[in-house]
Chains A and B, each alone.
Chain A
């Protein structure tokens, strides 16, 4: 069975602070795929990043960066110099190679960035 845990249900920061959202996953598949999605107050789910299990390089995209550590089964997401527009619920998701094509989502972390 696959499982994704986002232990932080809610985080509140002040604008310009850095914030890291944690994601821990469980899977028996040797090949798998990890994702982050953003759900702003408007409700849609916006794709942010896909990471393959065989590629452990960390990635940076503007103020966003992702730290994938296979040894600890974690795929953490850091927002640098947070802005009010970053306020949203962020979901980490896992897709195995043998478990069908569905995404298994974590419970989400609600990030509130205050001005």
Chain B
């Protein structure tokens, strides 16, 4: 158990809908990262938050947005869903202060868009 929690574990929804994925980092970790794992694109970084502020952005679509709250949990919002958004979405956290540390991943949310 990495200490990172994600809910829900599975999500099935229809095209055009909007969903919210939730992540709670390990106790004490200030950084939260979101990654998408799909068959055709592999594991891709989406976005990072550090102590409530956006720190880095990757290949995140404009239809997707995220935020990190004062209690450090994070939410990834996916809107106007398309079939191609079906994927496993991971949240990771790390406790780096200065020197980079390893990222610990949550169990993932499997999103199926029908």
Which A residues have a C-beta under 8 Å from some C-beta of B?
Answer: 33, 35, 37, 43-47, 50, 91, 95, 97, 100-105, 107-108
- Cross-chain contact A108 with B42 (CB below 8 angstroms): yes
Q: Is the CB of B104 within 8 A of A47?
A: yes
A-B CB proximity, top 4 nearest: A100-B56, A102-B45, A45-B105, A105-B43
Interface size class of B (residues with CB under 8 A): 20 to 34
Interface string of B83-114 (1 = CB under 8 A from A): 00000101010101000111111111010000
Q: Does B58 contact A (CB under 8 A)?
A: yes
B2 and A50 within 8 A (CB): no
Interface secondary structure of B, over-half rule: strand
Instruction: With CB as the reference atom, state the residue of chain B lying closest to A37.
Output: B105
What's the Cα separation between A39 and B35 when bound, in Å? Answer: 14
Q: Let me know if A44 and B45 touch, CB within 8 A.
A: no
Inter-chain CA distance A35–B35, complex, in Å, is 16
CA distance A103 to B42 in the complex (A): 12
- The reply to whether A47 and B103 form a contact with Cβ atoms under 8 Å apart is yes
User: A91 to chain B: closest CB distance in Å?
Assistant: 7
Cβ contact within 8 Å between B107 and A44: yes
> Which residues of B sit under 8 angstroms from A35, Cβ to Cβ?
102-103
A107 and chain B: residue at smallest CB distance: B42
User: Are B31 and A101 neighbours in the complex by a CB distance under 8 Å?
Assistant: yes
Q: Does B68 contact A (CB under 8 A)?
A: no
* Contact between B105 and A101, CB atoms less than 8 A apart: no
Which residues of chain B are near A103, meaning CB under 8 Å? 33, 35, 43, 45, 103
